Each structure stands twice: as C-alpha cells, then as structure tokens.
C-alpha cells in the first residue's frame, strides 16, 4: 500500500505537465532572446547616446578651439618674429601694420595690444564692429589701465596665459585676454595682449546652437556664464563688480535652474567621466538634459568649460523605444505562454478523455464510455480510432464472455483462466410450457420475447454477483463462486433466484394487462465441487464449469414440473444449498427425490418467494 501511495504521488497530470514543459520552453527561449536583445540594445543605445554626446561636445569644442588656436598661433608667431628682430618698438608704423594683418582674419578677436616693458606701444581695435579696424599708439597706464596688471604679470613669466574675466570700464564690457610675453634671448622686451569679448565669444555659441540645442560656456568651478546665444541681452548688467553673470541672470529660463538640477550618472548613456549630466524641465514641462564639462584642456588655458542643453528625447527616445519594445515583447511572451497552454490543453484533452474512458473500460462500464472524437493531430486521431474500435470489440466480447471473468482477467492482466476446482453454486432456469407460449409468434416476436425474458433473469444474476455461463434457448445456466471467490455462493444464488421470481411476477402483471399469457419458470439450485476455468480446444474455449453439480442443478430444475406444474415460479434447491442459507429465506422441505443420473436421492427444499 505504501509503495502504491508513493507511486501515485509521483504521477503527473498531462495538461499541467504539457503546459509547464511547453510553456517553460517558450518562456525560457523567448525570455532569453528578449533579455539578450534588451541588454544588447540597451548597451548599443547607451553607447550611441554617449557617442552622440561626445560628437556634439567635440563639435562645440572644435568651434571654440579653432578661434583660440588662431589666438595662440598669433602669439607664437609674434614671439618668433620678435626673436628674429623682424619687429621693433622703434618702428611703430610697422607694428601697427603687423597688428592690422594679424587681427583681420581673427573675426572673434576684439583687439590686439603690443607694448614694451614700460607699457607703451601700439594697439589695433575692431571699433564698432563695422569692419573698419582702428589702430595707433597706446600707453597702458593712461589709456587702458585695466590691462596694466597683465603686462606686469607677463614680465614675471615666460609662458603665455589667459586672464580671468576682465571688465574694462573704458569699453563697458568684459573680456578674456590672452597675454604672450616677448623675449629677445633671455631679455624681456614686452608683451602681446589679445582680447576676446563676451560678445565675440557668444557669437560662436550663437552660430553653433540651434532652436533645440543650446551651446554655452561657463567659467571653471562656478555657475558664471562666459558665452551664451542670448547673453547679448544682458551685457548692460556687466560691471567691475560683476564681470560675469550668474546662470540665473541670463535670458535662458531653463538654464537659470541649473544650480538646482540633479546630476545623473554619466554611465546611464555611457558618457565620458569628464562630462557632467544634469536633467530638468523647461517652462512647458518638457524634460531637457544639460551636459557640461568639468574642465577642458583643449581651450588653450582659457578658464572656461563647454556646456550644452537639449531635449531629453534625443537620448531618452531610443530608451523609450527600447522599453516599448520590451513591453511589446513581454506581452507577446505572455501571449505565447497562453498559446502554449491552449495548445497543451488541446493536445491533452483527447488523452484525458481516453484516460477517463480507459478507467471505465477497466471496470467494464462500456455503456458509460463515449466515443473519442477525431483530431487534426494524426497520432491523436489514430488513438481515437483505435480506442473506439477497442471499445466496440470489448462490447461485443463482453456479450459472449462472463462480465466478472473479463473484469478479473483485466484486473490481473491475464489472457486465460486455467481450470481449477472450486465449490460453486449452480443455477438452471427454464420456461414452463415454452412451446405453447411461443405459438402464434413470428420469428422476430419470439426473439424479442426470449431476449426480454433472459434480460430480466440476467439482471438478477448480475446483481447478485453471479456468472452467466450460457443461454440455452429460453434457459439460463449461471454459477456463483467463480471467477471471484464468494464467502457464501449458495446465499447469492438463492437471492438471485428469488429476485427472478419477483421480476417474473412484476412482468406477468404487465403482460396480463396487455392481454398476454403469463410466463411460468422453473429454477434449480445445487452447491458442490466443480472444475471451473477455460474448457475447450486451443482455438476456441469457454469459461465454464463441469461436474456432477451441474447435472444435479439441471435435474432439480426439471423436477419442478412434478412438484408444482402450475406455479408461476417454482424454485427447487438441494439440501447443500439450504444448509448455507440465512433465516431470511423461507424454505419448505420437499424430502428426498430421485433424480436422473444420481444413484442416491437428493434432499430437496423449495424456496418460497
């Protein structure tokens, strides 16, 4: 029992098993593909976003470094010319001409000043930006005192340098000045000062910005703006105390909130570590990103860093599309799971029907077995056809072989029943006056009459666990105690006989109501040892009983003609039967009776219905 219980616990149901296996396969396969695609796409998108940002920042950087490179190249060329004695403060006209030529191509430079160690020299200026250059003699101490500290600083060093934001009151504007010391050998001779105004630098940002992408310069280590496309509107706010405006002072409502914008992880879009990524929302509620450098070594020493802000969708849209693809993929994945479960159920349903039907077949409840439907799946369709054919064969087989025998053979997994000796109760029945009763009937009417009669008797035999051995015309031979063992086969046989009497009586009432003659039967019962099993030739056998007990039961049935020829039902049983009956069954002794085939008389009793 324990082994059977363990075995049952290990059994799996086909629908959840198929659904789990197919669904798991679909889930794992689709999920792996989806994950690989998502990870790969996410990596590509991050790298693409980082590449776009780097390219954008690099383009902005190039726009500035081209201008700054011209400034530094001019400083280096001037130093080289001075070292070769091609330039001299003794020839101011030559110096002015030189500065005119140097300033002309540098459209983002505001002025050039060339002074000696005392601060006296020449300068060239763009004036009112009308294309006409202005030049002449200059003395820093009196004419441009704000540049004097730079000239003094140049006398102390040999390398060129950029000034901090320098507000020049004489010009009412802020400049960044590139100062290049001039030497003859080891002797300091003066300096070249190249000034770039915030206006000129902002012009660069105006040219490289678009409606959506705004490029700006911010001072290193601060939120002060050096250049911005809209900075022109705020130049009047510049002063010696405020040479640069704070980001919240410029005409850029979005960038004005920069100080409060959270910084994001640069790794989100695979952005270089030197770039800071911030996010915020403009006045219309649209999200924008700000990317600003920590510092830029390529700006030739200018204390500035490049920044840019643009709609977040430039970077977010691919991620949103990726998320949408993931959502769609997930939905398709679940639809695939639902499809897998549906497919599993479609495959499993015929198998389940076959399983339930097979259990009914095992019990020989063939009437409860419904034919299996056909299937579009060839193997399942073959299963249905084969199973239906098997049930049809078993139905026919069950009509010719005792039901209990078939059940036993099926339960034991055997195909034969070898003869063995058992104590068996045998019953014989016969219709009294059958010939007279069937007179005037057609063949079909006779068959219907006999089939109905035998159905009544057979039902009682089956109800009492008996085995119908055979039908002999209108007679029935049945036995109890085989193939199943019964504790008291005599009791079962007697109860079946009494059931037959009740069934015949009820049927006769119907017959008489229909104007038909009543049916009278005789029943004989005997108990004794018999050989029971498969009897016959190898090619054709019958499960039956043989022995004297059979003959005795048959003779007792015939004896009924003498005991009570006019009775509706007469049931005669041997004393061997009566000895095993319960007190509920009423018996009337008949006494010893001589029967054909037996030397000794039989003690006979009559069972009273």
CATH number at residue 520: 3.30.70.1230
Phi, psi for 193 (deg, rounded to 5): -115, 125
What pLDDT score does 580 carry? 92
Q: Residue range 474-479: average pLDDT? A: 92
- C-alpha 586/C-alpha 517 separation (Å) is 28
Q: Residue range 506-515: average pLDDT? A: 92
Q: What is the DSSP letter of 364?
A: T
Q: Answer yes or no: do 597 and 550 share one domain.
A: yes
Q: Residue range 229-254: average pLDDT? A: 92
Residue 237 clears pLDDT 70, i.e. is over it:
yes
Write out the DSSP string of 405-429: HHHHHHHHT-S----EEEEEEEEEE
- C-alpha 183/C-alpha 194 separation (Å) is 17
Q: Answer yes or no: do 94 and 163 share one domain.
A: yes
What pLDDT score does 5 carry? 46
| Residue 7's pLDDT band (cuts 50, 70, 90) | very low
| Tokens 């479609």 -> residue | 346
Q: Of 277, 310, 343, which residue sits at a domain end?
A: 310
| Residue 3's pLDDT band (cuts 50, 70, 90) | very low
Parallel, antiparallel, or unpaired: how do β-strands 420-432 and 520-537 relate?
A: antiparallel
Q: Answer yes or no: do 508 and 541 share one domain.
A: yes
Q: What is the DSSP letter of 226?
A: E
Q: Residue range 31-45: average pLDDT? A: 57
pTM score: 0.54
Is the four-CA dihedral 409, 412, 414, 420 of positive or negative sign?
Answer: negative
What pLDDT score does 523 carry? 95
What pLDDT score does 52 carry? 56
Query: Which position has the higher pLDDT, 259 or 23?
Result: 259
- C-alpha 203/C-alpha 205 separation (Å) is 5
Q: Answer yes or no: do 440 and 571 share one domain.
A: yes
Give the least confident one: 207-216, 333-342, 553-562. Answer: 333-342
Residue 277 lies in a domain: yes
Q: What is the DSSP letter of 583?
A: T
| Residue 416's pLDDT band (cuts 50, 70, 90) | low
Q: What is the pLDDT of residues 76-131, one digit of tens each?
A: 999 988 888 888 898 999 999 999 989 888 888 999 999 999 999 999 998 765 56
- Which range, 352-361, 390-399, 476-485, is most confident? 476-485
Q: Of 199, 225, 247, which residue sits at a domain end?
A: 199
Query: Which position has the higher pLDDT, 353 or 302?
Result: 302
What pLDDT score does 382 carry? 76
Residue 50 clears pLDDT 80, i.e. is over it:
no
Q: What is the pLDDT of residues 490-505, one digit of tens each?
A: 999 999 999 999 999 9
Q: Residue range 48-60: average pLDDT? A: 61
What pLDDT score does 209 carry? 87
**CATH code: domain of residue 303:** 3.30.450
Query: Which position has the higher pLDDT, 572 or 25?
Result: 572
Residue 22 lies in a domain: no
Residue 246 structure tokens: 């704070």
Residue 51 clears pLDDT 60, i.e. is over it:
no
Q: Residue range 68-77: average pLDDT? A: 90
| Residue 513's pLDDT band (cuts 50, 70, 90) | very high
Q: What is the pLDDT of residues 189-218, one digit of tens each?
A: 999 999 999 999 999 889 888 888 889 999
**CATH code: domain of residue 135:** 3.30.450.20
Residue 487 lies in a domain: yes
Q: What is the DSSP letter of 559?
A: H
Q: Answer yes or no: do 195 and 226 share one domain.
A: no
- Quick check: 505 and 552 in contact, CB under 8 A? no
What pLDDT score does 182 carry? 92
Number of domains making up the chain: 3
Q: Answer yes or no: do 184 and 300 share one domain.
A: no
Residue 603 lies in a domain: yes
Give the least confident one: 399-403, 437-441, 480-484. Answer: 399-403
- C-alpha 199/C-alpha 227 separation (Å) is 8
| Residue 231's pLDDT band (cuts 50, 70, 90) | very high
DSSP 3-state percent helix, strand, coil across the chain (nearest 5): 50, 25, 30
Q: Answer yes or no: do 244 and 188 share one domain.
A: no
Phi, psi for 172 (deg, rounded to 5): 50, 45
What pLDDT score does 2 carry? 42
Q: Answer yes or no: do 171 and 136 share one domain.
A: yes
Query: Taking the CB of residue 426, how many other CB atoms lie within 10 A of it?
Result: 30
- C-alpha 97/C-alpha 105 separation (Å) is 14
Would you call 492 helix, strand, or coil by DSSP? helix
* Mean residue pLDDT across the chain: 82
- Residue ranges making up the domain that contains 579: 415-607
Q: Of 310, 334, 359, which residue sits at a domain end?
A: 310
| Tokens 């004419």 -> residue | 143
Residue 383 lies in a domain: no
Q: Answer yes or no: do 587 and 555 share one domain.
A: yes
Q: Answer yes or no: do 427 and 500 share one domain.
A: yes
Q: Residue range 44-53: average pLDDT? A: 52
- C-alpha 404/C-alpha 518 separation (Å) is 32
| Tokens 């197919």 -> residue | 22
- Quick check: 565 and 430 in contact, CB under 8 A? no
- C-alpha 384/C-alpha 354 separation (Å) is 8
Residue 409 structure tokens: 């053979």
- Quick check: 197 and 231 in contact, CB under 8 A? no
Give the least confident one: 31-35, 543-547, 571-575. Answer: 31-35
Residue 30 structure tokens: 């689709």
Residue 421 lies in a domain: yes
| Tokens 């020839």 -> residue | 91
- C-alpha 26/C-alpha 473 separation (Å) is 65
Question: Rg of the Cα trace of the chain?
Answer: 59
Write out the DSSP string of 82-100: HHTT---TT-HHHHHHHHH
Residue 106 lies in a domain: yes
Q: Answer yes or no: do 174 and 243 share one domain.
A: no
- C-alpha 347/C-alpha 366 separation (Å) is 24
| Residue 311's pLDDT band (cuts 50, 70, 90) | confident
Q: What is the pLDDT of residues 130-158, one digit of tens each?
A: 567 888 999 999 999 999 999 999 999 98
Q: Answer yes or no: do 510 and 590 share one domain.
A: yes
- Quick check: 306 and 67 in contact, CB under 8 A? no
Residue 378 structure tokens: 């060839």
Residue 422 lies in a domain: yes
What pLDDT score does 243 carry? 94
């Amino acid at each position: 029992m324990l082994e059977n219980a363990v075995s049952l616990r290990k059994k799996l149901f086909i629908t959840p098993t198929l659904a789990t296996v197919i669904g798991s396969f679909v889930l794992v396969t689709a999920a792996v593909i989806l994950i690989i695609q998502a990870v790969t796409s996410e990596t590509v998108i991050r790298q693409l976003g980082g590449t776009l940002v780097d390219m954008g920042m690099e383009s902005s950087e190039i726009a500035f470094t081209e201008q700054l490179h011209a400034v530094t190249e001019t400083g280096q060329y001037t130093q080289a010319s001075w070292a070769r004695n091609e330039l001299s403060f003794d020839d101011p006209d030559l110096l002015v001409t030189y500065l005119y030529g140097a300033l002309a191509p540098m459209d983002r430079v505001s002025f050039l000043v060339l002074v000696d160690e005392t601060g006296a020299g020449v300068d060239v200026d763009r004036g009112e930006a009308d294309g006409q250059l202005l030049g002449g003699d200059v003395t820093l101490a009196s004419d441009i005192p704000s540049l004097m500290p730079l000239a003094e600083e140049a006398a102390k060093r040999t390398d060129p340098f950029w000034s901090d934001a320098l507000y020049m009151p004489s010009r009412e504007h802020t400049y960044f000045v590139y100062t290049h010391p001039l030497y003859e050998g080891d002797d300091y001779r003066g300096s070249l000062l190249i000034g770039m105004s915030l206006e000129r630098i902002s012009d660069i940002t105006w040219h490289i910005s678009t409606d959506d992408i705004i490029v700006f310069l911010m001072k290193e280590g601060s939120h002060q703006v050096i250049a911005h496309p809209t900075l022109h509107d705020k130049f009047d706010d510049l002063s010696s105390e405020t040479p640069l405006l704070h980001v919240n002072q410029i005409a850029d409502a979005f960038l004005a909130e920069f100080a409060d914008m959270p910084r994001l992880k640069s790794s989100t879009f695979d952005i270089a570590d030197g770039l800071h990524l911030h996010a915020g929302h403009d006045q219309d509620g649209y999200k924008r990103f700000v990317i600003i450098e920590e510092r830029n070594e390529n700006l030739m020493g200018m204390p500035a860093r490049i920044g840019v802000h643009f709609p977040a969708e430039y970077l977010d849209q691919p991620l949103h599309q990726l998320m949408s693809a993931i959502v769609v993929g997930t939905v398709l994945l679940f639809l695939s799971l639902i499809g897998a479960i549906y497919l599993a159920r479609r495959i499993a349903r015929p198998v389940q029907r076959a399983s339930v039907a097979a259990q009914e077949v095992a019990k020989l409840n063939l009437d409860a077995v419904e034919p299996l439907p056909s299937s579009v799946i060839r193997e399942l369709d073959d299963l249905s056809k084969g199973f239906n054919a098997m049930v049809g064969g078993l139905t026919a087989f069950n009509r010719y072989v005792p039901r209990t025998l078939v059940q036993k053979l099926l339960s034991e997994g055997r195909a034969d029943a070898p003869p063995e000796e058992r104590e068996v109760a045998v019953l014989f029945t016969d219709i009294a006056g059958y010939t007279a009763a069937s007179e005037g009937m057609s063949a079909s009417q006779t068959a219907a009459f006999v089939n109905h009669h035998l159905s009544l008797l057979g039902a009682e035999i089956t109800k009492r666990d008996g085995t119908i051995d055979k039908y002999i015309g209108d007679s029935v031979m049945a036995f109890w105690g085989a193939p199943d063992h019964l504790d008291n086969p005599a009791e079962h046989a007697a109860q079946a006989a009494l059931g037959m009497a009740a069934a015949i009586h009820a049927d006769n009432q119907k017959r008489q109501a229909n104007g038909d003659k009543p049916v009278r039967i005789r029943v004989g019962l005997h108990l004794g040892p018999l050989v029971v099993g498969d009897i016959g030739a190898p090619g054709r056998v019958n499960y039956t009983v043989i022995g004297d007990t059979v003959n005795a039961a048959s003779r007792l049935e015939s004896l009924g003609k003498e005991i009570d020829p006019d009775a509706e039902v007469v049931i005669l049983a041997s004393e061997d039967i009566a000895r095993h009956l319960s007190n509920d069954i009423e018996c009337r002794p008949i006494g010893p009776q001589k029967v054909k085939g037996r030397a000794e008389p039989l003690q006979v009793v009559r069972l009273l219905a």
